[in-house]
Amino acid sequence: MNVIQPLIDLQDTDGQIRELEREARDIPQRKAQENARLAGVNASLEIAKNQLAAMQQRIKGEEAEAEQIREKVRGLKTAQLSIKSNKEMQQSIMQIEGLERDAEATENRALALAEEIPTLEKRVAEAQEKVDADKGVVDGYVAELDARLAEVKAELDALLKERAEKANAISKSNPRFLLYYERQRTKRWPVVVTLNHDGVCDGCHMKQPPFVEQLVQHNKDLVACTMCGRILYRDL
């Protein structure tokens, strides 16, 4: 039996742990990306709503201004009842006519602005429809991610227990092997690699001296690559 096999088995478990840990880190990022995308869609809806509200406010402003002018006209017409001279009457008539023109122009502006309301309302409706549709998709996707994250955590817990058992077994039989493996694991991955039949380390791809090939072939001790320090073994 390959004396390095327990380390290979431990490395297999560590590889699974690394993948799950990477996935566990990735899931919150994917959720954040989806929520950011939904936030962008919501922002588009708010912009459309604000544009509609602003237009409605402008129309109200024009209508209010027109009403103020009409009120002045009514006041002037009431005042005409007490005017006695033709000159004053002519001045009042001219003033009223000017105000009525202003009122009509203001009302026309309000009508022109009102013609844009259907387009803005359609834009709001379309934006709302997109928000509703995207929210359903995002909520479903986020729920799937949450469920997967729970699975990942459960799998990680099981693998970490399995790893502890494997590491403990190696520590009892070959503590030096485990110590070397753990130290190398913090520097490079994978730690245990094959020495191919050309005498090349599959980790750094450097040719090893003949004595390294002989030691690996004898399969009696831990043998490290002379370049990268990875643990070498040979598939039989």
Q: Quote the DSSP letter at residue 85.
A: S
Give the DSSP H/E element, type plus range, for residue 173.
helix 117-173
Residue 190 in contact with residue 17, Cβ under 8 Å? no
Give the DSSP H/E element, type plus range, for residue 193.
strand 192-194
Residue 165 in contact with residue 204, Cβ under 8 Å? no
Hey, which residues does 224 pair with through a beta bridge? 231
What pLDDT, on a 0 to 100 scale, did the predictor assign at position 236? Answer: 63
Residues of the chain with pLDDT under 70: 1, 236
Specify the fold of 16-165.
Helix Hairpins (1.10.287)
What pLDDT, on a 0 to 100 scale, did the predictor assign at position 220? Answer: 85
In the structure encoding, which two tokens stand for residue 19, read together? Answer: 């993948």
Three state DSSP letters for 44-74? HHHHHHHHHHHHHHHHHHHHHHHHHHHHHHH
In the structure encoding, which two tokens stand for residue 35, read together? Answer: 């929520």
Give alpha helix (H) positions in 174-200.
175-185
In the structure encoding, which two tokens stand for residue 195, read together? Answer: 């020495």
Q: Which residues of the chain does CATH 1.10.287.1490 include? A: 16-165
CA torsion, points 124, 130, 136, 138, in degrees to nearest 10?
-120
Return the number of other C-beta atoms located less than 10 Å from residue 44's C-beta.
15
CA nearest neighbour of 156 among 16, 9, 10: 16
In the structure encoding, which two tokens stand for residue 115, read together? Answer: 């013609």
pTM of the model: 0.71
Residue 110 in contact with residue 62, Cβ under 8 Å? yes
- What is the tens place of the pLDDT at every residue in 108-139? 999 999 999 999 999 999 999 999 999 999 99
What pLDDT, on a 0 to 100 scale, did the predictor assign at position 84? Answer: 86
- What is the tens place of the pLDDT at every residue in 53-64? 999 999 999 999
Residue 4 in contact with residue 231, Cβ under 8 Å? yes
